[in-house]
Amino acid sequence: MAIELPENVMVSRLDELASWCRKNSLWPMPFATACCGIELMATGAAKHDLARFGAEVFRFSPRQCDLMIVAGRVVMKMLPVLQRIWLQMHEPKWCISMGACASTGGVFDTYAVVQGIDRFIPVDMYVPGCPPRPEQLIQAIIDLQDKIQREGTITGREFDTSQRQLRKRALVDVTGVLQVDAARNPVIQRELRFPRSESRLP
Amino acid sequence: MAEAHSKDTVDSRADDAIESLAARFPGLESSTYRGQVRVVIGAGVALEFFTHLKQLGFNQLIDVTCVDYLEYRGATRRYGLVYLLTATGTGRRLTVRLFVDDPEPAVPSISGLWRSANWLEREVWDMFGIRFIGHPDLRRLLMPEEFLAHPLRKDYPLQGRGERHNFPVLTREDG
Amino acid sequence: MAIAPDQVTRSSSSGDGVREEDYLWTLNFGPQHPATHTTLRLVLKLDGERVVDAMPEMGYLHSGFEKIGEHLTFNQYVTVTDRMNYISPMANNVAWHHAVETLLGIDLTPRCKVIRTIVAELARVSDHLLSNGAVGLDTGAFTFFLYGFYQREVIYDIFETLCGARFTNSYTRVGGVSHDFTPLVIEKIRTFLRTFPKTLDDMERLLTRNRIFVDRTKGVGVLTREEAINGGATGPVARASGVTRDLRKDEPYLAYADYDFQVCCAAAGDCYSRYLVRMQEMRESIRILNQAIENIPSGEVNVGIEGRLALPSKQQVYSTIEGTISHFELSMSNRGFEVPREESYAAIEAPNGELGFYVVGDGSEVAYRARCRPPSVLHFSLFPQLIRGHTLSDVVAVLGSLNIIAAELDR
Ligand code: SF4
């Protein structure tokens, strides 16, 4: 039996509707550590005006946000903080890695800098550049909106990124002896206490 | 050099200080390079020396740092500490060098004389592992507490020893 | 308003059986907090709203700059110095190559000196705009911040015309700069100099006598002259406490000796005077810029090819044999230039204070040790002393007025 629809009613999948709502009201959490943060500020400021794309509501509390923008290099001392903030954010959530440093370590291939945050947290969108221009960041946000519309969060397709992440992790060359005192590292301790799966232990 | 025209005056003023220091601490080695006067002292007289310098008017400690001479051709001692002092009244500058060696390099702390020495010495401890005896709070300044190496030593590699990737991985499922 | 910390503790311990721990509470501030502007952490001990003590912690952006300096050549390392104090990168470029040239004993051409002076002063203006803007932002003056940020965009634009990058400029080279001034750049700077004083007047009218702002900054975070000297404070922070020291006057480098300008000082040493000193310094920078831009000497901008230091121009490479040889020698990894086996320290008056580099040369083109003397570290170490006895809301005002930049703090 066909259902008669009035003219002003459209049928859509719930998933699609939810994605549509989500993509147009992204609330970014600026995790700005270094120079890229200045460009992030410029993106939000008068000239470039991120508000045109519905993503200007910067909130500094992870509980309120669904898009983390990591702008700048993340170093050893900062990574546990980053992971904690990521865990504090509610699903659905996305992550943009802004700049060469956040994506790959950039010019800082040194003992203290994490060579790409995607080794430790999932990343949806990478923005190249040192620093990326504000226009590039805006482009990344538009692309992310596309991605949200395409993938949704109900199908679980975004979990693909974890597979990719694991593959990249396998390439990590951990040479020599570990110099970190595991007994005093809170994140490692938590990992040991609540092991989740074999493959993810460092 | 830009300050070529003021070089002579700087030299002579600094020379006065050196003369009075040499009278007080016999056997002081001093040298000049591009108008910068440097003196080398031993760890034993350090505290007395710096107290005296402070009385001479060198009231600001600009920097404390260190150089690891492990791979420096012809160097005999391993760590060379650098103290940069300024007299804000006259604008004189003085560089004081102090050499120490492995194992357990240690020098007296001057944080009692200049407050600025406090953090600068902590940084040297963090980066080079030189102990400052008498320092009120000798903790790491820049690296995390659980870090074990001293990264600016020459035998520590630029890319580290894998510490930077010694973290648990969070994936989508963990959210 | 301010209560000395010892008073607080005395009154507490005299009460019967009430111990400090019973009512003092600890607040963690940072490292990811919007009001810190950068990544630093404070652990505050509070009695109600009053700060009894503060324990600053840093290192959340330590990326091993000094270690990299031991692996990159003198010309390459300039890219890394850009990322040090990222709100005034030009000043870092100038500081780094000033130190290297001191070590090598290079005499710059007059044109280069003036050009470097101009870019360093532009960097000072853009730094002060942001740091004062941040103080305004934290005390509730958002418009003021936007005014400042708009002018920063103009300066970014000048730099972009000059060398192609908005703020990671990497502009200087050993013995010269990467791009000479073009008429377009000079025109843009002139326009900026014409329009900027008006904005500056507007900004002053907005904030300098604004009751809320004055109440929140006057008498807050007082640093006395003795403490400033003893704590190693330099730059605007020291000058706001009455230390009359400015390297541009005391040890004139580049072309500063030729210009007429004043050293801006204040006596009170509180957040408000630090704000005033920065405001006034921008006016003095404009004065320097006005004198400099109209008197740029003609001639070469880089030192000549005899010195074998700066890359010769394309014209020279293609048309003269000396140019070709010089280009070839400089590009070969085993040639390069002569570096003495010596060490030296040279500093400039960066917007934030004395920014110096201690460079050790070991005969190769790569520094054996490249120590950066960051002004922020010593300013941040003064923080507990400045905040004791004030309220929690003053923390951001004091932090903002010290202008702490994490990348320079941690390197
Ligand atoms: S990518 Fe470049 S601009 Fe961005 S944080 Fe890294 S060094 Fe700074």
CATH number at residue A99: 3.40.50.12280
The residue type at C139? T
Each residue's pLDDT tens digit, C7-18 = 444 444 445 666
The rounded mean pLDDT for chain C is 84
Closest ligand 1 atom, residue A34 Cα? 5
Angstrom distance (rounded) from CA B86 to CA B88: 6
Q: How many residues can be counted in chain B?
A: 175
* CB B98 within 8 Å of CB B133: no
Between CA B153 and CA B127 the distance in angstroms is 7
Q: What pLDDT is attached to residue C191?
A: 92
- Distance from C-alpha of C256 to C-alpha of B6, rounded to nearest angstrom: 13
Q: Is A17 in the pocket of ligand 1 (CB under 6 A)?
A: no
Answer whether A46 touches C (CB < 8 Å): yes
CA distance A140 to A150: 15
Determine which of C28, C32, C73, C405 to mutate to test the interface with A (most A C-beta atoms within 10 Å).
C32
A183 exposed, middle or buried (CB, 10 Å; 0-12, 13-18, 19+)? exposed
Pairing of strands A28-32, A67-71: parallel
A127 and A181 in one domain? no
pLDDT of the residue at C117: 92
Does residue A4 sit within a domain? no
Are A189 and A144 in the same domain?
no
Q: Which two tokens stand for residue A168?
A: 């990249």
Question: Which pLDDT band, with edges at 50, 70 and 90, does C39 fall under?
Answer: confident
- Domains of chain C with bracketed CATH: 3-57 (no CATH), 65-409 (1.10.645.10)
The partner residue sitting opposite C68, judged by closest CB among A35, A72, A110, is A110
* Sheet of B79-86, strands arranged across: B29-33, B36-41, B93-100, B79-86, B60-68
Set of chain B residues whose Cβ sits within 8 Å of the Cβ of C252: 2-3, 6
Residues A113 and A191 in one domain: no
DSSP letter at A75? B
* pLDDT in the model for residue C277: 92
Q: Is residue B1 part of a domain?
A: no
| Cβ–Cβ contact A38 with C under 8 A | yes
Residues A58, A132, single domain; the answer is yes
* Helices (H), ranges, chain A: 14-23, 36-44, 79-88, 99-104, 134-151, 160-170, 186-193
Q: How many domains does chain B have?
A: 1
| Ranges of residues in chain B whose predicted pLDDT is under 50 | 1-12
Same domain, A61 and A88: yes
Q: Is C116's pLDDT higher than 80?
A: yes
Are A109 and A115 contacting, i.e. CB atoms less than 8 angstroms apart?
Answer: yes
Alpha carbon of B157: minimum distance to chain A alpha carbons (Å): 8
Q: Do A86 and B170 touch (CB under 8 A)?
A: yes
Q: Which two tokens stand for residue B12?
A: 């002579």
Q: Is residue A178 part of a domain?
A: yes
For the stretch C55-76, pLDDT in tens is 888 888 888 888 888 888 888 8
Beta-carbon-side half-sphere exposure of residue A137 (alpha carbons within 13 Å): 33
The confidence score (pLDDT) of residue C85 equals: 84
Query: Using CA of residue A87, residue A89, residue A91, residue A96, what is the dihedral sign?
Result: negative
Residue C124 has pLDDT above 80, yes or no: yes
Q: From the CA of C123, how far away is ligand 1's center (Å)? A: 18
CA distance C359 to chain B (A): 10
Higher pLDDT, A185 or C256: C256
Residue B110 lies in a domain: yes
Name the closest residue on chain A to residue B149, using Cα atoms. A179
Query: Cα of C317 to ligand 1 centre, how many Å?
Result: 34
User: Which atom of ligand 1 has the smallest separation from the CA of A99?
Assistant: 1
Q: Kindly state whether residue A8 falls inside one of the protein's structural domains.
A: no
Number of domains in chain A: 2
Q: Give the torsion sign (CA, A25, C39, C65, B62).
A: positive
Do A152 and A172 sit in the same domain of this protein?
no
pLDDT at C141: 80
Domain that holds residue A189: 167-202
**Is cis: bond before A92, omega within 30 of 0?**
yes
pLDDT at C285: 92
- Which atom of ligand 1 lies nearest, measured to the CA of A129? 1
Q: How many residues does chain C have?
A: 411
- For residue C344, the distance in angstroms to the closest alpha carbon of chain B comes to 7
- CB spacing of A180 vs B148 below 8 angstroms: yes
The pair phi, psi for residue B139, each rounded to 5°, is -115, 170
Q: How far apart are CA A38 and CA C290, in angstroms?
A: 28
* Pairwise CB contact (< 8 Å): C381 & B115: yes
Q: Note down the domain range covering B129.
A: 7-174
Asked if residue A5 belongs to a domain, the reply is no
E strands, C37-135, where?
Answer: 41-47, 50-57
Average pLDDT value for residue range C240-256:
87
* CA gap A169, A145 in Å, rounded: 27
Distance to chain A for B121, nearest Cα, Å = 20
CB A35 to CB C168 under 8 A? yes
Cβ-proximal residues to A99 (8 Å cutoff; 6+ apart), any chain: A35, A36, A71, A72, A73, A106, A127, A128, A129, A130, A131, A132
Distance, CA of A95 to CA of A148 (rounded, Å): 12
**Test the A interface: residue of B146, B155, B158 with most A CBs within 10 Å:** B146
Whole-prediction pTM value? 0.84
Mean model confidence pLDDT for chain B: 80
Query: What does the pLDDT average to over C89-102?
Result: 90
* Listed residue (C81, C187, C185, C156) closest to A45, CA to CA: C156
Tell me what pLDDT residue C11 has: 45
Q: What is the rounded distance in angstroms from the CA atom of residue C122 to the CA atom of residue C145? A: 18
Query: Where are any strands of DSSP class E within B23-167?
Result: 29-33, 36-41, 60-68, 79-86, 93-100, 106-108, 131-133
Give the model confidence (pLDDT) of C147-206 as tens digits: 888 888 889 889 999 888 888 888 888 888 888 888 999 999 999 999 999 989 988 888
For B120-124, the CB contacts below 8 A with 24+ separation are: B120/B61, B120/B63, B120/B64, B120/B65, B120/C232, B120/C377, B120/C378, B121/B64, B123/B64, B123/B65, B123/C377, B124/B64, B124/B65, B124/B66, B124/B81
Q: Which of A6-20, C335-349, C364-378 has the highest mean pLDDT?
A: C364-378
- Nearest residue of chain A to residue B141 (CA atoms): A77
- Are the beta carbons of C287 and C294 closer than 8 angstroms? no
pLDDT in tens, chain A (202 residues): 566 777 777 777 777 788 888 888 888 888 888 888 888 888 877 777 788 887 877 878 888 888 889 988 888 888 888 888 888 888 788 889 998 988 888 888 888 888 888 888 888 888 988 888 888 888 888 888 888 887 766 555 555 655 665 555 544 444 444 445 555 555 555 556 655 444 443 3
Q: Is ligand 1 within 6 A of the CB of residue A67? A: no
Q: Find the helix or strand (DSSP H, E) in which C375 lies.
A: helix C375-381
Band of residue C2 on the pLDDT scale cut at 50, 70, 90: very low
Residue B16 in domain: yes
Ligand 1 centroid, distance to A186 Cα (angstroms)? 28
Give the other-Cβ count within 10 Å of C111's Cβ.
20
Distance A179 CA to ligand 1 centre (A): 27
Q: Looking at the structure, do residues A41 and A111 belong to the same domain, yes or no?
A: yes
- Say what the pLDDT of residue A155 is: 55
DSSP three-state, residue C213: helix
Q: Are residues A147 and A172 in the same domain?
A: no
Same domain? A153 vs A172: no
Q: Taking CB atoms and an 8 Å limit, are A162 and B173 in contact across chains?
A: yes
Whether B2 is covered by a domain: the verdict is no
Please list the residues that pair with B55 across neighbouring strands: none
Match 């000479």 to its residue by tokens: C180
Segment B104-123, tens digit of pLDDT = 888 888 888 888 888 899 99
